Amino acid sequence: MHIIKLIFKNAFRHKLRTFLTILGITIAILSFGLLRTVISAWYAGVEASSATRLVSRNSISLVFSLPISYKDKIRQIEGVKIVSYGNWFGGIYIDEKNFFANYAVDPKTYFELYPEIILSPEQKDAFVRDRKAFVAGRKLIAKYGWKIGDTITLKGTIFPGNWDFVLRGIYKGRDQTVDETAFIFHWEYLNEALKKTAPLRTDQVGFYMIGVTKPSLAASVAADIDKTFKNSLAETLTETEKAFQLGFISMTEAIVIAIQLVSFVVIFIIMAVMANTMAMTARERIGEYAIFKTMGFGGWHIAGLIFGESLFITMIGCIIGIVLTFPAAKAFGTELSTYFPIFIVEDKTICLDILASFTVALVAAIFPTWRAIKIRIADGLRRIG
């Protein structure tokens, strides 16, 4: 108990230095937490992927389409439970800066395949009945202030023209890992319109979403699908939903690695700052440690004082940094919702914050402790005054 009281008093003996050190640690932990949250947001789609869902696309590239007739053939493959399909629309709302995911799907099979998207039965029925209808996530609705019954116009990029949609439903995610910023409408509405403006592009889908009966069949079902359409005019590449999501992330892998490196550089910098603080503290108290030795206190007692002080200062900064991470992440998440629809501070990030703080505290105290223990009593007493 007396040691804890002594650690507390020693930590605040030089108040300005302690305050600045805690401030530096707080900023470092806050920065580290936000950077790790960005990385988590980057992989959010991968983490939310289901082991029972596959995605099948054109083997050449995602920009090439597949015939709608493939649907029935895929459904007949053993192990396939449900088949849905869709097209990435790429529409713009008013201005190009208003970017959000928007795509055409088959509403009946889509909601069955993605049970994590929660829509009330009334709104789901209204959406299914109205071919011009669309549903959107509640975050997207809140951002633009749309209301049920509003007519929203998107300017097509992949499919040119102005496209009118009527809001019939607002969905929410089953949990916080579900994207609530998407704009979903009828594939039939898109297909019927293309019959008038671009007949050659009709009855084509951008991708198939396939539910399998159990995860262990995913690999064999994917192989069977690709084998079915081998040597056809539009061969397929079928992979798990997780692998499909990782394919997009691999395009920006260099950015992710850079962010990871920066997050660890922040920790190394604050480690140097903390080590400097503890070195100064130990140098000032060499005489006191010598007196402790003359009173019979061993090296473990001195090590406990130095490590305890280092840990105490570091953990104060860590706790403040973690507390500030949540409002900061909420603010950043609102601003970056266009690019990171899921921007939440995960438990894993908090654990990394604490682990990084412990590492900083321990490493920063190693050299001052070694120096204080090794110095001879006579040499230490000469430094008094």
Confidence (pLDDT) at 370: 81
State the Cα torsion 88-89-94-96 to the nearest 10°: 50
Confidence (pLDDT) at 133: 96
Confidence (pLDDT) at 288: 66
Contact 321/29 with Cβ under 8 angstroms?
yes
With CA atoms as reference, report the closest residue to 276 among 28, 21, 8.
Answer: 21
Report the interhelical angle of 299-335 vs 253-284 (nearest 10°): 140
Non-local (6+) Cβ contacts of 354 within 8 A are: 318, 322
Encode the chain (385 residues) as per-residue pLDDT tens digits.
567 777 777 777 778 888 988 898 999 999 999 998 888 888 777 777 788 999 999 999 888 999 999 999 999 999 999 999 999 998 999 888 888 899 999 998 999 999 999 999 999 999 999 999 999 999 999 999 999 999 999 999 899 899 999 999 999 998 888 889 999 999 999 999 999 888 888 999 999 999 999 999 999 999 999 999 999 989 999 999 988 888 777 777 788 888 888 988 988 888 888 888 887 777 767 666 677 777 767 777 777 778 888 888 899 999 999 999 999 988 887 776 667 777 888 889 999 999 999 998 888 888 888 877 776 766 656 665 4
Q: How far is CA 256 from CA 38, 133, 181, 337, 342, in A?
A: 9, 37, 23, 18, 16
**The two structure tokens encoding residue 123:** 């709104």
Task: Give per-residue pLDDT as tens, 247-304.
Answer: 777 777 788 888 888 988 988 888 888 888 887 777 767 666 677 777 767 777 777 7
**The two structure tokens encoding residue 119:** 């829509």
Non-local (6+) Cβ contacts of 327 within 8 A are: none
Contact 381/322 with Cβ under 8 angstroms?
no
Q: Which residues pair with 134 in a beta bridge?
A: 167, 185
Confidence (pLDDT) at 208: 96
Measured distance CA(30)–CA(24) in Å, rounded: 10
- Using a 10 angstrom Cβ sphere, with 0-12 exposed, 13-18 middle and 19 or more buried, the burial of residue 99 is middle
3-state secondary structure of 183: strand
φ/ψ of 7, rounded to 5, equals -60, -45
Measured distance CA(165)–CA(189) in Å, rounded: 10
* Alpha helices in 48-98, H assignment, sequence order: 70-75
Confidence (pLDDT) at 117: 93
Confidence (pLDDT) at 381: 63
Confidence (pLDDT) at 223: 95
Domain ranges of the chain: 2-44+252-381, 60-234
Measured distance CA(113)–CA(93) in Å, rounded: 27
Confidence (pLDDT) at 342: 78
3-state secondary structure of 9: helix
